């Protein structure tokens, strides 16, 4: 698998993972792999209630606690997805939600250079 094929595979699988967590998948997903980092940008359709909740959490300066509450589920799903193509582990995950533009951003930091593994043909092709 080349770099773009891997990114497209991750886009599809992160879509399914998001749906598994929230019950609703994103409108679109973009994934980019740079060295040991995976960047995930999802265009979301939030309900009116979800938008109000995110704004309330943000106004109360509780975003970090909110992100902590979803980090464990997200980490498990991301690790499961990564295990289908490589043996790298997740060192850290960072989340950010842009409520006004309805985007969700996730940065996944790995313990090795995934881009280099892909370029050198050392990434498994998923079933």
The CATH number of residue 67's host domain is 3.30.980
Q: What is the pLDDT of residue 65?
A: 74
Domain with 31, as residue range(s), is 3-119
Q: Is position 124 within any domain?
A: no
Q: Is residue 39 part of a domain?
A: yes
Residue 45 domain flag: yes
Query: Model-level pTM?
Result: 0.85
Any domain includes 27: yes
Q: What is the pLDDT of residues 80-99, one digit of tens each?
A: 988 999 999 999 998 888 88
Contacts within 8 Å (CB) and 24+ apart, 67-75: 67/95, 70/21, 70/95, 71/95, 73/21, 74/17, 74/21, 74/106
In a domain, 126, yes or no: no
Residue 127: inside a domain, yes or no? no
* Domain contains 43: yes
Burial level of 78, CB count in 10 A (0-12/13-18/19+)? buried
Percent of the chain with pLDDT over 90: 46
**63 in any annotated domain:** yes
Say how many domains are in the chain: 1
* The two structure tokens encoding residue 115: 């881009």
> pLDDT tens digits for 33-61?
999 999 999 998 878 887 788 788 778 87
């Amino acid at each position: 698998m080349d770099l773009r094929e891997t990114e497209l595979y991750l886009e599809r699988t992160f879509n399914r993972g998001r749906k598994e967590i929230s019950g609703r998948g994103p409108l679109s997903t973009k994934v980019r792999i740079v060295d040991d980092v995976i960047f995930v940008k999802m265009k979301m359709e939030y309900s009116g209630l979800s938008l109000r909740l995110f704004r309330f959490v943000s106004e109360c300066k509780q975003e970090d606690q909110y992100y902590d509450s979803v980090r464990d589920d997200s980490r498990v799903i991301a690790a499961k997805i990564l295990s289908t193509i490589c043996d790298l582990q997740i060192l850290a995950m960072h989340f950010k939600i842009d409520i006004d533009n309805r985007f969700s951003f996730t940065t996944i930091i790995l313990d090795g250079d995934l881009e280099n593994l892909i370029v050198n043909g050392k990434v498994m092709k998923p079933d």
